[in-house]
Structure 1
Amino acid sequence: MSDTKSVGSAASSSSNNKNGASPNEPAGNIVPTSYSTDFMSFLKGVLSFTGDLSSLTCPSFLLNGISLLEYGAHWSDYPHVLAEVTKATDSVERMKLVARWFVSTLYGSYNKRVAESNTGEKKPFNPILGEQFLASWDDPTYGETTFTCEQVSHHPPVSAIYFENAKAGIYGSGHFSQKSKFKGTTMKVVQEGRVTLRMKNSDEVYCLSLPSLNICSILSGKPFLEMSNTTFIRSSKGYTAEFHWHTKPWLYGEYHKFDGKILKDTAAKFVQDGPGQEYLFAMKGKWVADSYVVNQKTGEEQILFDVSAQPAADIIIKPVDQQSELESRRVWHKVSEALASGNYDVASKEKTDIEENQRQLRKERAEANTEWKPTLFTWIDDVDAEEAVKSSYNYLNSAVSSVGTGSWVFNNPLQPLAKSKSASVASGTQTPSDAFSTAQSSVL
């Protein structure tokens, strides 16, 4: 095997990760000592509950002080990794770079908060209907990357996202919804939704499914997150990246490992180890540390992504007093301030005021027979999408049902989206009931 190189142009450090390489239970306990009795009462309710856990009201001392919409911003944590996808000269190299970018999004989304603060995973705020989160990142080479997120549905809760780097000519949109339940002592979170990545210098489209999440060690008050199940990236040119996310075995083994492969598959639907598949690369490693891709013909190993090689870019968010009334940090400002100061009673009151206001707005819309519509995104069924998107998600739907049957798309993307020949009008702005299996209602 040859010396290890890196995918893309980012330099790699040692394979010993210095930023989250020991993702065992965090040292800090998320439950204040004075609230231990309340925590045990909440746990009893959770363990006996049979529906989607999002419908339960979470005690304020278990909230982390940010909206779930902010989690989506981690799709752009490493803007240079996103931008460098456009440097690929062929579909095979491009798939490796898209896989590298996908892995780069995971650490910030699902581990960074615990690894850097050494405190446990806490619950974000459930976004209010129409809530927005806007952010950007500056890169000295690739310029500005922007991110936009909007809560487009409340029942079920669905968040739509859009990100772009105009200088590099790359952009993506998608949406995610979560449903959760307890299994044993672990909270299982199934993520439904998809992300579609496009480039101005290529007609190739990349369609991604989302991983499931396991929140472990909740009973100890020191929760942390692992990923599980299988996710895919499907290229409209017939290439597929398949990721298997592994939780730590009970007695032995390591946290946060994954493996997978990149293959060429011209079939219309995915079949595990199906005939005609050409196995090109193996993938392996830890998504919180370093990972590798191995050429199956030559044995050459390259670093896919290394968390410790370069810190995530600094996120840029407007000050609260410059945000609109629907932007996340302004919506939840009083609650977040109270949580930061440890005043959980005030936080609960402020949160309840927001919830009651939202209930009143829903009541007024119902009485006036008024349909709420998102401002920034529109729902498009797959049947109305361009052929590249339609065929790619048709392929993925045979492997994972969680991608659904349509997409939330940004109203003002980097370039206009192509329409299928059979498309007439986009199929509305409300998520169809058959597009998601997340039918359970939720409380803010």
Structure 2
Amino acid sequence: MVAEQKDTKVVLTKPFSLGSGSVSDPAYGAPSLLKRVLTLFKNVRLGSDLTKFQLPPMFNIPKSQLQCYGESVYSTGLDMLSRCNSGESPLERFTSVVAWSISTTRPSPFGIAPYNPILGETHHVSKGNLHVLLEQVSHNPPVSALHATDEKENIEMIWCQQPVPRFRGTSVEAQVLGKRQLKLLNHGETYEMNSPNLFIRILPVPGVDWVGNVNIKCLENGLVAKLSYRSSLFGGHGRYIRGQILDSSSTKVLYEVYGHWDSIVQVKDTNNGKEREIYNAKEVISELQAPIVKDAKSVWPTESGVVWGELSQAILNKEWEKAREAKQAVEERQRNMSRERETQGLYTWTPKNFVVSYSKEAGWECSPIHKLVPPAPIIAQ
């Protein structure tokens, strides 16, 4: 979807969803890309941090990583957040939060990746009463902050995320550092959780999956979920999720959690053995559509779809020389801005929408400046 904003294009593409995982294009299939992917890493050492690793445009999805984070919150076929809020008991609400957390896990394509966001880049989208705002608050290391509010449901969400990708020889694993908070303010409940790691398997069978442990806890009622995301070495339907929901005060297991995060996830009540479905990926993340621009004049110049608009359009048109020039132009603008700040003695970047701090003990903390996120000129469908 392309909208005109004066002389600037706002380019928005479909989010990752079941059955696609990216912009549908046979040229992006794993077999045709495997050889080229291997050549990218031929001079990279084992264990290397790939944060600063630059991909040529042919290996880019026409969207920023900032947009990918936002899509996992606002691009859904069902209103999972309202379900979290409407639960009558703490356990019912907690189980819905577990399902919502699983819904933020999205399929990713092999061999291509989103752009690394530039410092100060933003992404501002609304879906119904949910308003979502993201900002790239640090470039080195890359740190993204998210703030989302739904005034009608009285829900608030705060994320702070730092991907750390490392080369493992036959794979790349991106650890996603940082904390996610979901606040159900009507109930006085705050839920904290982390993200699984993105695992890119090059050999023996190319593929992309989510792996690792996710812990979810409610600070007020003591309920805890311990989930494990697992992958199959040889591909196939191996996107397993296993775990438990328990009462931390008694360590009693209340539910067993099991299934596949890209299909069905169920829970089993340990008291009576009854099983029920809590998440259906087909209902939530299939056939998702690109957002639309409702008010082009109100789109910020820092919006992802503007910053990368020319590059994204060139990739969609497969104009690779034009794409290379557009990507270089974005990167050069960022370097010029950095040099300009240094000449002015401004060595610390100040985000517009967040207060950011870092400590070895807590890591990165991103606190929103404003209580509510305003309605956005871009609307999720």
The answer to whether TM tops 0.5 is yes
Give the corresponding residue for 2:62.
65
- Retained in 1: the 8 A contact 2:51–2:165? yes
C-alpha contact (below 8 Å) 1:151/1:158 kept by paired residues? yes
Distance 1:263 1:38, change over 3 A: closer
Is 1:135–1:315's contact at 8 Å kept on the other side of the alignment?
no
Residues 90 and 100 (structure 1 numbering): CA distance in 2 closer, same or farther, change over 3 Å? Answer: same
| Structure 2 equivalent of residue 343 of structure 1 | 319
Structure 1 residue 213 displacement after superposition = 1.2
User: Which residue of structure 1 lines up, in the alignment, with residue 282 of structure 2?
Assistant: 308
Q: How does 1:405-444 map to 2 (within 5 A)?
A: 405=363, 407-414=365-372
User: SS at 2:51's partner residue?
Assistant: helix
Matched with 2:50 is 53
Residue 247 of structure 1 is matched in structure 2 by: 231
Kindly provide the CA deviation profile for residues 332-390 of structure 1, in whole angstroms up to 9, marking residues without a partner as x.
011111111111121111111111111111111112112320001113679xxxxxxxx
Structure with higher strand content: 2
CA distance in 2, matches of 1:218, 1:164: 42
Q: 8 Å contact 2:37–2:111 — kept in the other structure?
A: no
Query: Relative to structure 1, is the Cα distance of residues 380 and 128 closer, same or farther in structure 2, using a 3 angstrom cutoff?
Result: closer
Match of 1:377 in 2: 354
Q: Secondary structure at the match of 1:55?
A: coil
The one-letter amino acid of 1:189's match is A
Cα-to-partner distance string for 1:82-137 (whole Å, 9 max, x where unaligned)? 1121112222111101001111221xxx31x54xxxxx452111111000001122
* Secondary structure of the structure 2 residue equivalent to 1:53: coil
Distance 2:366 2:40 in 1: 35
Letter in 2 for 1:230: N
User: Cα–Cα, structure 1 residues 21 and 341, in superposed 2: closer, same or farther, change >3 Å?
Assistant: closer
Q: Does 1:238 align with 2:222?
A: yes
Task: Look up the match of 2:74.
Answer: 76
Deviation at 1:414, TM superposition (A): 4.1
Displacement of 1:70 in angstroms is 0.7
Q: 1:310 to 1:160 in 2, by over 3 A?
A: closer
SS state at 2:166 partner: strand
- Are 2:75 and 2:285, in contact at CA under 8 Å, matched by a contact in 1? no
> Could you tell me how far apart the structure 2 residues matched to 1:44 and 1:372 are?
35
TM-score calculated relative to the size of structure 2: 0.82
Please give the per-residue CA displacement for 1:129-148, whole angstroms capped at 9, x wherever unaligned: 0000011223xxxxx22211
Task: Tell me the residue number matched to 1:357.
Answer: 333
CA–CA distance in 1 between the matches of 2:95 and 2:87?
9
Q: 1:131 aligns with which of 118, 121, 126?
A: 121
The question of whether the paired residues in 2 share the 8 Å contact of 1:132 and 1:326 is answered with yes
Which residue in 1 is equivalent to 2:6?
Answer: none
Structure 1: how far apart are the matches of 2:231 and 2:31? 30
Q: Any idea what SS the aligned residue of 2:366 has?
A: strand
Give yes or no for the alignment of 1:326 onto 2:302: yes
**Alpha carbons of structure 1 residues 34 and 291: separation in structure 2 relative to 1, 3 Å:** closer
Q: 1:259-305 CA distances to partner (integer Å, 9 max, x unpaired)? A: 00000113xxxxxxxxx411110100000001101110011111010
Secondary structure of residue in 2 paired with 1:248: coil
How far residue 43 of structure 1 moved from its aligned partner, in angstroms, is 3.2
Instruction: Answer yes or no: is the 8 Å Cα contact 1:134–1:317 preserved in 2.
Output: no
SS of the residue 2:310 aligns to: helix
Aligned length: 349
Q: 1:35 to 1:283 in 2, by over 3 A?
A: closer
Once the two structures are superposed, residues 202-247 of structure 1 have per-residue CA deviations (whole angstroms, 9 ceiling, x without a partner) of 1121001111111123788xx5321111011111121101110111
Are the structure 2 counterparts of residues 238 and 36 from structure 1 closer, same or farther at C-alpha, using a change threshold of 3 Å? Answer: closer
- How much has 1:29 moved relative to structure 2? 4.9
Shift in alpha-carbon separation, 1:87–1:30, aligned structure 2, 3 A:
same
Per-residue CA distance 1:63-88 (angstroms, 9 max, x = gap): 01100001112123336111121112
The Cα shift of 1:309 comes to: 3.1
2:241 counterpart residue number: 258
Give the Å deviation of 1:310: 5.0
Any conservation in 2 of the 1:76–1:105 contact (CA below 8 Å)?
Answer: no
1:178 matched to 2:163: yes
Cα distance in 2 for residues equivalent to 1:368 and 1:22: 46
Distance (Å, rounded) in 2 between the aligned partners of 1:279 and 1:33: 44
**Aligned counterparts of 1:64 and 1:22: Cα–Cα separation in 2:** 13
Deviation of 1:38 (Å):
6.2
Identity of aligned residues (%): 23
The Cα of 1:249 is off from its aligned counterpart by 4.0
Post-superposition offset of 1:149:
0.4
Q: Residues 69 and 293 (structure 1 numbering): CA distance in 2 closer, same or farther, change over 3 Å?
A: same
Alpha-carbon distance in 1 for matches of 2:326, 2:185: 45
Q: CA deviation at 1:410?
A: 1.7
Cα pair 1:243 1:260 within 8 Å, conserved: yes
| Separation (CA, whole Å) in 1 of partners of 2:159 and 2:58 | 31
